[in-house]
Chains A and B, each alone.
Chain A
Amino acid sequence: MFARMKPLVKEALNQTLIFGKFLCLLHITDKYICSPIIVHGPSMLPTMNLTGDVILAEHISSRFGKLSVGDVVLVSSPENPRKTVTKRILGLEGDKVAFLVDPSFGSGNYRTIVVPKGHVWIQGDNIYASKDSRHFGPVPYGLIHGKVFCRLWPPDGFGWLDQ
C-alpha cells in the first residue's frame, strides 16, 4: 500500500515546494518592487477620491533615498504603526517648511520649521481634513515604505499621478 502512496506523496511535496517558491516570489515583489494598495479618506482630495482608489506604489525609490519634494508616499502612521497613510512630501531634511497652523481660522498665521536630519515633512493635499506633520511633526525617513506612481481604479482616473 505504501509503495503506491510513495509517488503520490512525492508529487504532493513537489507541488507544495513550487507553491512555496511562488509565495516567496509574491512576498519579494510586494515588499521590494511594487504593490497595489487601496486608499481611502478625505486627506488627499482632490488628488485621490474619498471613497477609495486603487493605486500602485513602488518600493524602490524609498529604499535608495531617491524621494523628492512633491512625491506622494506611503508612510506608517507615527501614531499607530499598524496604519499606513498616504501623504505628499513637502520638505526633506534640512529644508525650511512654512505651514498654516490652522487653515479654518482664515488668519494666515504661518509657522516655519526646519526639518531635522533623517526626517521628512508630509502633508495631505486637503489641508482642512488631514492629520499630518502639522500635528505630529516631521516623520523619520524610515517610516516611508513606498512611493505612489500610478492609479489603477477608478477607470476614469487611470494614469500617472502628477506632482
Chain B
Amino acid sequence: MVSLNFISSLSKNFFTYGLKGLTISDRYISVVPVRGCSMSPTFNPHCSTSLEGSTDDSVLVEKFCLQKYEFSLGDVIVFCSPNDNKEKCVKRITALPGYWVSSPFSNDVVKIPDGHCWVEGDNSASSLDSRSIGPVPFHIIWPLKRVGKLEQRIPSGRFVF
C-alpha cells in the first residue's frame, strides 16, 4: 500500500512538472545544443569534422519573438530545415523580405519573397542550398556560454540591398 501511494504521488509530480516544463520551453525559453561547424567561430569554435560533439555549445533560445515574428538582420535563429522536417538548423539571418541578394560566386540576383528570409552560416557560403527558405518554426538565440548578447553582424562580401 505504501509503495502504491509513493508511485502514484511520484507520477503525479512527474506529470505536473513535465507539463509545466514543456509549456515554458514552448512559449518562453529553451535550451538547444548546436551541432556541426557551420557557425564557427561563433558556436563550436574548436570544431573539426572528425571529432564527436562532446564539446558542443548549448544555447539559450527565446521564443517571445514568435508572437509577432519580428526578426532583424544579423539575428541568429534556430529553425527546422525545409528539406527535412526533423532536422534543426542554426544559422544567421542575412537578408529580410524585399531585399535582393547576390552571391559573389554566381551571377544570380534573388529577391527575397514575403514571409521568407535568407540565412547563412558564419563559417562558409553554405546557405541551405543557396536559396531562400520559408519561415518554418523560427526561434531566436542567445548564447549560453558567453555573457552578454550575441552581436548582430552582417557578413561582408555580399551585396545586400
Contacts and interface: CB of A to CB of B under 8 A. Distances in A.
Interface in A127-147: 136, 139-143
A30 to B, nearest CB: 10
A78 B134 contact: yes
Centre residue among B113, B134, B138 by max chain A CB count within 10 A: B134
A142 B137 contact: yes
A24 B19 CA distance: 6
B85 A24 contact: no
Interface string A3-40: 00000000000000000110111011001000000000
B80 A142 contact: yes
A79 B113 contact: yes
Interface string A119-161: 1000000000000000010011111000000000000000000
Interface string A100-126: 000000000000000011110000000
A163 interface: no
Interface string A75-104: 011111110000000000000000000000
Interface residues of B, number: 25
Contacts of A79: 113-115
Contacts of A80: 114-115
Interface stretch (B2-10, B22-30, B36-44, B56-64): B22-30
A118 B68 CA distance: 26
B84 A118 contact: yes
Interface of B: 16, 19-20, 22-23, 26-27, 68-69, 80-85, 113-116, 133-138
Interface of A: 20-21, 23-25, 27-28, 31, 65, 76-82, 116-119, 136, 139-143
Lowest 4 CB-CB distances: which A-B pairs, in order? A140-B82, A142-B136, A142-B80, A24-B23
